[in-house]
């Protein structure tokens, strides 16, 4: 059976990392196997190649196991079959679970298996006619997983006031990663040893933002406590700064402390080059502290910034890059090329950036 493997050390530790992924008949992917870095993983590809869908699958499963996987008595097969299916639907938003199965003639089946260290794992599958329930073949008894974090392309601090109540009491088209992340944003700040670890990451972020993020309990709103100028409400703060502020808040609450996992969809959206540099440094800072990070990007600037930072002598961050491309061979689906640096081929989405650079240089030479 195809496998998604999460390798964890002894039960009781918060540490986990996703080592490899193999899926069959999922969305645009026919049969794909990728091996992840325990730290930085960068997904590169044109729109429609399935980068976000690939990130949301393990996120939904990890989040489900984290909800109720700490004690065998608290986890039943019936609950897990229903909850994994519901979570996939809520996170990805198909009309039914079966819509996530790769589109081909006749009934097909998507198969997924997750191995969590050598003794623990979860395996499940679902078919084109499935509504909201998967068939679980292996249970993840005894697993302790820190809830993963998923950051969408849009920042969420400005919509936080009242969003959880809205989502829980009314039907909306927002996918559940927004709710999950807002829930983590509203958590209390950590203290003790974890606070000291968080402070190491918060320093550079707060310097880039020009202040620190605060949550006013009186009105349930976030503010940027700017140095020397008092509090500024988040809608008045530049969106790029708000995205860094979201990362800072999740660090302060401990969601990104303790060797967890971060999925970030196009972090460069609405960021100027200076903030993209700060974002790249922040991401690598999280990796250096033990967080496994998955980034989907279209930005040549961000990719080059990663490459520059990773090439420095003091960097010890393991990294892996993945290029997504629709297959040109009949019905083979999307293919994924992978390498430890940006030598991967083909980097289709970068072609236009590079060609534009060549045209600009040609224009300069002709003038």
Reported as a single tens digit per residue, the pLDDT across 174-196 is 999 999 999 999 999 998 888 88
Reported as a single tens digit per residue, the pLDDT across 88-107 is 999 999 999 999 999 877 78
Distance CA(58)–CA(114), nearest Å, equals 9
Percent helix, strand and coil across the chain, each to the nearest 5 = 40, 25, 35
> Could you tell me the pTM of the whole model?
0.89
Encoded tokens for 100: 């996530």
pLDDT bucket at 3, cuts 50 / 70 / 90: very low
Q: Which domains does the chain carry? A: 4-148+260-366 (3.40.50.300), 155-258 (no CATH)
Reported as a single tens digit per residue, the pLDDT across 197-231 is 888 889 888 988 999 999 998 999 999 998 777 89
283 phi and psi, to 5 degrees?
Answer: -65, -45
Reported as a single tens digit per residue, the pLDDT across 325-339 is 887 766 778 989 999
**For residue 244, what is the enclosing H or E element?**
helix 239-252
What pLDDT is attached to residue 150? 97
| HEC sequence for 294-354 | EEEECCHHHHHHHHHHHHCCCCCCCEEEEEEEECCCCCCEEEEEEECCCCCCCCHHHHHHH
Helices 273-288, 239-252: crossing angle, 10 deg rounding: 10
Higher pLDDT, 18 or 117: 18
Strands 149-151 and 211-216 turn out to be: unpaired
């Amino acid at each position: 059976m195809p496998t998604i493997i999460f390798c964890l050390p002894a039960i009781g530790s918060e540490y986990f990392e996703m080592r490899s992924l193999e899926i069959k008949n999922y969305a645009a992917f026919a049969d794909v196997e990728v091996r992840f870095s325990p730290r930085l993983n960068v997904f590169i590809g044109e729109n429609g190649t399935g980068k976000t869908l690939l990130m949301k699958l393990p996120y939904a499963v990890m989040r489900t196991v984290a909800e109720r996987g700490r004690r065998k008595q608290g986890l039943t097969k019936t609950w897990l079959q229903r909850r994994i299916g519901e979570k996939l639907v809520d996170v990805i938003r198909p009309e039914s679970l079966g819509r996530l199965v790769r589109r081909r003639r006749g009934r097909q089946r998507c198969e997924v298996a997750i191995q969590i260290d050598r003794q623990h794992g979860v395996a499940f599958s679902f078919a084109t006619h499935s509504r909201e329930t998967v068939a679980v073949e292996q249970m993840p008894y005894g697993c302790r997983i820190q809830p993963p974090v998923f950051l969408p392309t849009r920042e969420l601090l400005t919509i936080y006031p009242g969003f959880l109540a809205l989502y829980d009491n009314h039907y909306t088209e927002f996918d559940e990663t927004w709710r999950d992340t807002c829930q983590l944003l509203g958590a209390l700040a950590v203290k003790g040893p974890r606070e000291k670890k968080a402070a190491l990451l918060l320093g550079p972020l707060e310097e880039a933002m020009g202040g620190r993020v605060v949550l006013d309990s009186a009105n349930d709103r976030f503010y940027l406590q700017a140095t020397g100028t008092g509090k500024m409400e988040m809608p008045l703060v530049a969106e790029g700064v708000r995205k860094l502020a979201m990362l800072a808040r999740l660090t302060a609450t401990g969601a990104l402390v303790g060797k967890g996992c971060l999925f970030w969809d196009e972090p460069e959206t609405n960021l100027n080059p200076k903030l993209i540099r700060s974002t790249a440094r922040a991401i690598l800072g999280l990796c250096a502290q033990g967080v496994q990070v998955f980034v989907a990007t279209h930005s040549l600037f961000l990719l080059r910034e990663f490459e520059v930072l990773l090439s420095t002598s003091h960097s010890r961050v393991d990294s892996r890059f993945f290029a997504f491309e629709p297959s040109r061979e009949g019905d083979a689906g999307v293919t994924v090329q992978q390498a430890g640096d940006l030598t991967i081929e083909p980097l289709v989405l970068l072609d236009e950036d590079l060609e534009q650079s060549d045209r600009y240089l040609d224009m300069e030479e002709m003038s």
